[in-house]
Amino acid sequence: MNKNEWLDIVLIAGFAQGGFLSFVLWKKESNNKKAVNYLTAAIALVAFLLLGRATFQPMFVQRFAEIIMLPDVILFLLGPLIYFFVLSLFRQTLPPTPARYLHYLPAFIHVAIVNTVVGLNLKGIWSFMSREVMYWSMFGIEAAGIISFTVYMVLSYREYLKYKDAYHEKFAVSFSGNLLYYFFIFSFSITACWTVGFIYNYTLPVPTYVAYYIVWSLLCILVYFLAYQVYNYPSILQLPDIEKDTKGEQPILESIDRNQLEKLLAYMEEEKPYLDQELRLDRLAELMNMPRYELSKLINQGTGNTYFDFVNRYRVNEYIALRESPKYDHLNILELAFQSGFNSKSAFNRAFRKHTGQSPTDFFMEKPEKTDQKTSHFAKRGDA
């Protein structure tokens, strides 16, 4: 069995997985349906592209010349769809409707003009384009597709980095969208292989498509990767709206119930719910048998902290207590951080520095009596 036949099997498998994943996403209930819809459309197009490549035969070129390049429109649609998916996933405002349609203009031009003109000349119905001009036109279409996809992937990656930084600044917990990093690794790898293959073909009198086998294989792997992530980590499609959450935690209204505040502080000290690494405001409100808004107001106005700063104060205090206890001398810094309720080293370091003004190393390098005094003062501030 030659490589093409093996590749066709891989492509058919990728098409089947992509079609199934598109259907699952289409039927999936989500609090961010807009992002899911864009992802569904992108995966469905990739699945169609895989099927088209697997079923392609050289005899189709002359027989169906007027439509043979029609699937190339996907090259101009994938970039905008992925970009809009990323914007929607991170709860960013999409371009207004008229401007949004401009992102699809290259795809429209390809369908309405390029595919029709080159295809009809290729079939012989029109004859004002020479074979050489048609050949270079096809190279131009592919080059434009590469540029379009690369630009949108760079824009999407920038949005990912901006959201990730804002997420860490706001929540000081591990970023649940880190899996997207591998999506971008796959996507940029595909683009790199595609570009290398394109440039290499440009230098040859007769094109060869060895590099494109890698591109098609990576596309199939990407589909399976997305399927695995969506099945096993559905929270990746439900990232929080950072701006909305921030505004929602800052209401300054009527005076708070001091008894409720004392009850909250006592619960935090005695039950230590902050040791749950995934503790969210909704969950703490449920444990306290309080509405989310009331608990948020109680924390904001009663302690002067946002929810995550409030919880992380307890976690930092817990870490200090564990670190100073001989019982836990056998644990390293990261193990102590995990035991204190943090779920990543970076989240722990940010929270510790934010609430003590020092790194953990500098904090514990001070002489014991100063450390004890500082710990006592810190604990007092956390209970304010």
Condensed to tens digits (0 to 9), the pLDDT of residues 185-218 reads 999 999 999 998 888 887 777 767 777 888 889 8
Please report the pLDDT score of residue 171 as a whole number: 61
Check: CB of residue 317 under 8 Å from CB of residue 378: yes
Structure confidence by residue, pLDDT tens digits, 357-366: 888 888 888 6
* Range 20-41 average pLDDT: 89
Please report the pLDDT score of residue 242 as a whole number: 74
Structure confidence by residue, pLDDT tens digits, 223-242: 988 888 877 777 788 787 77
* Range 264-272 average pLDDT: 94
Please report the pLDDT score of residue 255 as a whole number: 64
**And the tokens for 240?**
């929080």
d(CA 80, CA 104): 7
> What b/e readout covers 254-285, taking b as 16+ CB neighbours within 10 angstroms?
eebeeebeeebbeebeeeebbeeeebbbeebb
**Cα 60 to the center of its chain, rounded Å:** 39
Q: Phi, psi (5° rounding) for residue 83?
A: -60, -45
Predicted confidence (pLDDT) at residue 380 exceeds the cutoff of 50: no
d(CA 202, CA 381): 67
**Please, which pLDDT band fits residue 347 given cuts at 50, 70 and 90?**
confident
Sketch out the chain's domains with CATH numbers: 3-243 (1.20.1070), 249-382 (1.10.10.60)
| pTM exceeds 0.85, yes or no | no
Predicted confidence (pLDDT) at residue 154 exceeds the cutoff of 60: yes
Please report the pLDDT score of residue 172 as a whole number: 54
1-5, 123-127, 301-305, 361-365: least confidently modelled range = 1-5
Predicted confidence (pLDDT) at residue 95 exceeds the cutoff of 60: yes
Range list of H helices, 172-209: 179-202
